[in-house]
Amino acid sequence: MPNNRHIQPGVHYLQGSQACVEGAIIAGCRVYGGYPITPASEVMEHAALRIPQIGGRFIQMEDEIASACILLGASWGGAKAMTATSSPGFSLMQETISYGIMSETPLVIVDVQRPGPGQGYITTSQEDVMQARWGHHGEGSIIALAPASVQEMFEFTIEAFNLSEKWRTPVLLMAEETVAHMRERLIVPPLEEIRIVNRKKPQDLGIAPENYLPWGHDMVAPMANWGEGYNVNLIGLVHLEDGNVTKYDLQMHDACVKRFYHKIEDNVDTISQIETAHFEKCKHLVVCYGSVSRTAIEAVTEARKEHNLEIGYLRLKTLWPFPEKKLRSLIKKVDTIFVPEMNLGMMKHPITEALRDRCRKIISIPSLGSLHTPEYILSVIHEELK
Amino acid sequence: MNSEPVNAYNKPSQLDRFEIRIAGFGGQGVVTIGRILGVAFTVHDRKNSVNTQSYGPESRGGACRSEIVMSDGDINYPYVRKADVFVCLSQTAYDTYIHDLKEDGLLLLDPNSVPTDSIDDGYKFYSIPAMELARQIGSVKFQNTVALGALYVLIKEHLNEESLRKAIAESVPRETLEENIKAFGIGLEHMKAHYAE
Amino acid sequence: MKKHPMLKYLKEEGPMGDRLPMILCPGCGSGQVLNAAFHAIDKIIEEDGIAKENFVFITGVGCSARLTSHYLNFDSGWTIHGRTLPIATGALLANPELRIIVITGDGDTGAIGGNHFIHACRRNIDLTILCINNGLYGMTGGQVAPTTGIGLKTSTTPYGNTEESFDLSKMAETAGATYVARWTTAHPRQTVRAIMKGVRKKGTAFIEIMSQCPVHWKETPVDMLKALKKNSVRLKGDEAVPNGKIPIGEFCNIEKPEWIESYQKVIDQFN
């Protein structure tokens, strides 16, 4: 239950990084493991300050691999856990994310993206959006959210925990330096109005230890934590519902991987969130995500107002699983789709796959290392549509 | 989050943005002024504001910048597009940002850092010898609050003085509160004394 | 036939049972270590009144890791290569009531997990680490390990090993572990006693067990056990151990603040 050590309802003025930690605490995060990296260190510093105040445990680990592993252990130890890193550290966490997908472990990783490759730079970026989906080895889907404001750093972190507990899977918050460092209004609603999801427990479902299947019973299995007498053998190999790996065969392999793949991909419509503006009957469309959407809506509004362009706006609040069907049902026919991103056109690929027959042309508006200005987006639109 | 698409921008985008840029060197307290303004605008005056600061290796010791975008409505693009007010505390900052100031924008500068004879024609400028005045209360570290007092005079139609004083009290270390309030007053009085309303 | 008393800790029968025999090769020393660990924990459950469900076994990847996999009638984690210690640390952060036994190998601890190993010892977090050292990578086919002796031929040192090796027990002691002991699979009783001491120690306990891999060293298990017994010398004060011999016994047994307890003081300020 929320208590007075949570952030209080009302108006606050916080950095995105701070709002993220405050959201995590409200969601029930009680373990934070991390490793400093620019521009994500502010998240870690705020966690170091706040997590012990709420009775949780914070630890600075020896690297990002260890930080991600803290979440894995903590989650099976019964706590909701989080880490934050930036792109090079995110690369180091991929093996653990993969293990988390296979073992169906709820955990939340915040990536405050910076440009790459290599050390790249320490400014802002959306260059990890593909790594989020495809960076881990093996099949298996992932959930990734893209916040665009300090308010969303708070709300989406809570949502990330809720989704990870509901679907028993790692969830990624794909933030950027822009949104993590800016200070802005945060309105905290009455705490009792905030929806918190906790993992399903075999105890609550009346499942005794001798009948418990750690990866069975349902599409998303109830989860017994260590220390509860359920003799759970956590495993990273393909497994049967009871965790037995001696009876390996191709059918078991197929069923194991497809179940946790489909639990996410088949529920894309419930998981994914889309926001639109000036959308009805628009002739052209800007599709965007993260803080770029703040520039995009500014550009779209100006293009409509000052240049009478019939251009609409659509934002992916959830990047993965990719809402292909939802996009196809929303967008029947447009002329040109513009995709501004702080990379060289990464999300343009799944957008093209979904909408290539629903438009005349798809134009990437790339930016490396800085947020697009409205003038830049407008100039590309005008150049294309002149 | 609702799973249905939502129209988040029912109101037209607010083009009535008010933008302030403060720039100087690291250590002049540039970032602190930005944050204090944000708290004053948003927490106490219930307006919307976004505060960003210069970011990159140059923010350590070298040039430093803080920006505030204020609006009665939503703020989308978070950075300054064309500044309404530019508080300039170094020559480098002047050279870098002066052309992002609106033609009718206001320029507030420390004449000991930015020689006033180098100011481009056409910009209306106000002088505040912030460092010099701060020395009078014992330390140059209060120069940012002196500058904030002067800045307040330029933006008072948008901000309640009481809100700003509350924000200062909440943001500075308790042991320097008295000096900071004094510094704020000195900046404010200097402007009133040297520039007619 | 009378059943082995420790079979109760394995998923031998019942709805979740039927998982034996273990995958390990005949003559492998790992089973001996698991047996010693069961005996130690059995006694601790009986003598200290700690609930069985509080024990968690965590392994990484490699032959040693197969000791948990899916065989145990305990909570366990068969986790990521080299990452046993941060995962165990995370579990303890979530629930300090857990008694965590990490079973690992010389490759898991000394190579891929080397950094985590020294930092876990430095923090002195309440874990018991059992490191089965067979001097090579068994699971992947007998490659050289950071513990392989100089000159030895393995599948990746066909012309003989040219690298110096690590002394893992000395590393643990130097890095800050509060209980460190080394025994061999030829010293089963001493191993059980060391594990009991390790579990009872509030802090990081590191117990290295020199073990045989008859398959990759191409010797019989009996010869290897005899050699382990013959080549090991008990540590006695500062007395030097002759070159080429394996020092066995307790390297250290000291008291130092344990991390979870130290951090609890931080939390308690706010209560």
Tell me: the pLDDT tens digits for A269-319?
A: 999 999 999 999 999 999 999 999 999 999 999 999 999 999 999 999 999
**Is the domain of A280 the same as that of A175?**
no
Question: What is the pLDDT at residue B59?
Answer: 56
Question: What residues are paired with C136 via a beta bridge?
Answer: C144
> Helix or strand or coil: residue A256?
helix
Is the preceding omega at residue C21 within 30 degrees of 0, hence cis? yes
Question: Does A231 map to a domain?
Answer: no
Q: Across the interface, do C75 and A232 touch by the CB < 8 Å criterion?
A: yes
- The CATH number of the domain holding residue C216 is 3.40.50.970
Q: CB of C114 within 8 Å of any CB in chain A?
A: no
Name C77's bridge partners: A234, C58
Give contacts of C 14-43 with A, CB under 8 A: 14-16, 18-19
Mean pLDDT of the residues in chain C: 96
Asked if residue B19 lies in contact with residue B81, where contact means CB atoms within 8 angstroms, the answer is yes
The torsion angles phi and psi of A281, rounded to 5 degrees, stand at 55, 25
Per the rule left: phi > 0, alpha: psi between -120 and 50, beta: everything else, C27 is left
Q: Confirm or reject contact between B160 and chain A (CB < 8 A).
A: no
Q: What is the pLDDT of residue B197?
A: 62
pLDDT of A244 > 90? The answer is no
| pLDDT value for B117 | 86
Q: How many domains does chain C have?
A: 1
Domain that holds residue C90: 24-268
Nearest chain C residue to A224 by CA: give it. Answer: C75
Closest-CA residue of A relative to C14 is A210
Q: Which residues of A169-179 are buried (b: 16+ CB within 10 A; e: fewer)?
A: bbbbbbbbbbb
Neighbors of chain C by Cβ distance (3+ pairs < 8 Å): A
Cis bond leading into A222, ω under 30°? no
- Across chain A, mean pLDDT equals 96
Contact A334, A284 (CB under 8 A): yes
**Chain pair A-B, CB pairs under 8 angstroms:** 97
- Tokens of residue B23, six digits: 């720039």
Nearest-by-Cβ selection for A122 from B15, B38, B56: B56
User: What mean pLDDT is predicted for residues C221-232?
Assistant: 97
Decide if C18 is inside a domain: no
Query: Does residue C167 contact residue C185 with C-beta atoms inside 8 Å?
Result: no
Question: Which of C11, C12, C45, C89 to probe by mutation at the A interface, max A CB count within 10 Å?
Answer: C89
The answer to whether the Cβ–Cβ distance between A274 and B5 falls below 8 Å is yes
Residue A306 shares a structural domain with residue A186: no
Number of A:C CB contacts under 8 A?
Answer: 170
Nearest by CB: C70 against A211, A228, A235: A235
Region A229-245: mean pLDDT is 93
Q: pLDDT value at position B119?
A: 85
**Angle of helix B143-155 relative to helix B177-194, nearest 10 degrees?**
50
What's the rounded mean pLDDT across residues A57-83? 98
Interface contact A184-B50, CB threshold 8 A: yes
Per-residue pLDDT tens for C159-212? 999 999 999 999 999 999 999 999 999 999 999 999 999 999 999 999 999 999
Whether residue A132 is contained in a domain is answered as yes
Whether the CA torsion C85, C86, C87, C88 is positive or negative: it is: positive
Q: Is residue A233 part of a domain?
A: no
The partner residue sitting opposite B77, judged by closest CB among A159, A298, A305, is A298
Residue B148 lies in a domain: yes
Is B1 inside any structural domain?
no
Say if B50 falls within a structural domain: yes
The arithmetic mean of pLDDT across residues C16-24, rounded, is 85
Q: What is the 3-state secondary structure (H, E, C) of chain C?
A: CCCCHHHHHECCCCCCCCCCCCCCCCCCCHHHHHHHHHHHHHHHHHHHCCCHHHEEEEECCCCHHHHCCCCECCEEEECCCCCHHHHHHHHHHHCCCCEEEEEEEHHHHHHHCHHHHHHHHHHCCCEEEEEEECCEECCCCCEECCCCCCCCCECCECCCCCCCCCCHHHHHHHHCCCEEEEEECCCHHHHHHHHHHHHHCCCCEEEEEECCCHHHHCCCHHHHHHHHHHHEEECCCCCCCCCCCEEEEEEEECCCCCHHHHHHHHHHCCC
Q: State the average pLDDT over residues A11-40.
A: 98
Strands A57-60 and A29-34: parallel
Output the domain CATH number for residue A80: 3.40.50.970
Low-confidence ranges of chain B (pLDDT < 50): 1-15
Are A99 and A132 spatial neighbours (Cβ–Cβ below 8 Å)? no
Q: Which of B12, B48, B52 sits opposite A185 (nearest CB)?
A: B48
Domain presence at residue B9? no
The two structure tokens encoding residue C148: 């392989």
**Distance of alpha carbon C145 from alpha carbon C111, whole angstroms:** 7
Cα B32–chain centre separation: 9
- Please report whether residue A271 resides in a domain: no
Read off φ and ψ for residue B109, nearest 5 degrees. -140, 160
> Is residue A255 included in any domain, yes or no?
no
A touches which chains (3+ CB pairs under 8 A)?
B, C
Percentage of residues of chain C with pLDDT beyond 90:
91
How many domains, in total, are found in chain A? 2
Q: Classify residue C4: in a domain, yes or no.
A: no
Q: Does C263 contact A at CB distance below 8 Å?
A: yes
Residue C97 in contact with partner chain A when CB distance is under 8 A: yes
Select the residue of C18, C85, C267 nearest A52 (Cβ to Cβ).
C267
Q: Read off the pLDDT of each residue in C85-111 and give the average, rounded to a whole number.
A: 98
A63 contacts in chain C (CB < 8 Å): 115
CA distance C270 to A54: 8
Contacts of A57 in chain C (CB under 8 A): 93-94, 260, 263, 267
In degrees rounded to 5, what are phi and psi of residue A81? -140, 150
Write down the H helix ranges in chain A: 16-27, 41-50, 64-76, 87-92, 94-103, 129-134, 150-167, 177-181, 250-265, 268-271, 292-307, 324-330, 348-355, 374-385
Tell me the chain A residues in contact with residue C71 when contact means C-beta distances shorter than 8 Å.
Answer: 233
Nearest Cα to C101, choosing from C80, C62, C75, C123? C75
In a domain, B10, yes or no: no
A233-242, B50-59, C6-15 — most confident range: A233-242
CA distance between the termini of chain C: 57
Q: What is the pLDDT of residue C193?
A: 98
> Which residues on B lie below 8 Å from A197 (Cβ)?
none
- The DSSP symbol for A322 reads -
Task: Compute the distance between CA of residue A331 and CA of residue A325 in angstroms, rounded to an integer.
Answer: 10
The CA distance from A223 to A212, in Å, is: 9
Domain boundary among the residues A174, A193, A212 is at A193
Q: Which of A161, A193, A225 is the last residue of a domain?
A: A193
* Cβ distance of B1 and A269 shorter than 8 Å: no
Q: Which two tokens stand for residue A353?
A: 């796959």
**CATH code assigned at B108:** 3.40.920.10
Residue A304's CATH number: 3.40.50.920
Which residue is closest to B66 within chain A, CA to CA?
Answer: A182
**Three-class SS state of A359:** strand
Phi-psi region of A226 (alpha: psi -120 to 50; beta: other; left: phi over 0): beta
The ipTM (two decimal places) reads 0.96
- Minimal Cα distance from C65: which residue of A? A235
d(CA C141, CA C155): 7
- Quote the tokens at residue C184: 């061999």
Most B CBs within 10 A among A12, A86, A123, A184, hence the mutation to make, goes to: A184
The residue range of the domain holding B144 is 18-194
Tokens of C103: 């079973």
DSSP state of B96: H
Q: H/E element holding A113? A: strand A107-113
Task: Report the residue of chain B nearest A270, measured CA to CA.
Answer: B3
Question: How far off is chain A from C227, nearest CA to CA, in Å?
Answer: 34
Residues A176 and A289 in one domain: no
Contact at CB, A225 and C68, closer than 8 angstroms? no
What does the pLDDT average to over A207-234?
96
For residues A188 and A282, membership in a common domain is answered with no
Instruction: Give the pLDDT confidence of C198-209 residue by residue, as tens digits.
Output: 999 999 999 999
Residues A134-159 have a mean pLDDT of 98
**Closest to C37 (Cα-Cα) out of C80, C3, C72, C12:** C72
Residue where one domain finishes, among candidates A165, A193, A221: A193
Give the integer Cα–Cα distance in Å for A43 and A180: 8
Q: Residue C47: CA atoms inside 13 Å, Cβ hemisphere, count? A: 10
Pair type for strands B101-109 and B83-88: parallel
Cα–Cα distance between A76 and A232 in angstroms, integer? 10
Question: A283 and A175, same structural domain?
Answer: no
User: From the CA of A210, how many Å to the nearest CA of chain B?
Assistant: 38
For the segment C35-63, what is each residue's pLDDT rounded down to a tens digit?
Answer: 999 999 999 999 999 999 999 999 999 99
Interface test with C, best of A50, A234, A252 (most C CBs within 10 A): A234
Structural contact between residues A23 and A157, judged by C-beta atoms closer than 8 angstroms: yes
Chain segment C259-269, per-residue pLDDT in tens: 999 999 999 99
For chain B, how many structural domains are there in total? Answer: 1
Look-up of token digits 């920006």: B67
Domain encompassing residue A82: 10-193
In chain C, residues 53-92 whose CB comes closer than 8 Å to chain A: 53-54, 56, 58, 68-80, 83, 85-92
Tell me whether residues A297 and B9 touch, CB distance under 8 A.
Answer: yes
Q: Which residues of B touch A282 (CB under 8 A)?
A: none
Residue A329 pLDDT = 97
Residue A380 domain flag: yes
- pLDDT value at C114 more than 60: yes
Q: What is the pLDDT of residues A308-323, one digit of tens each?
A: 999 999 999 999 999 9
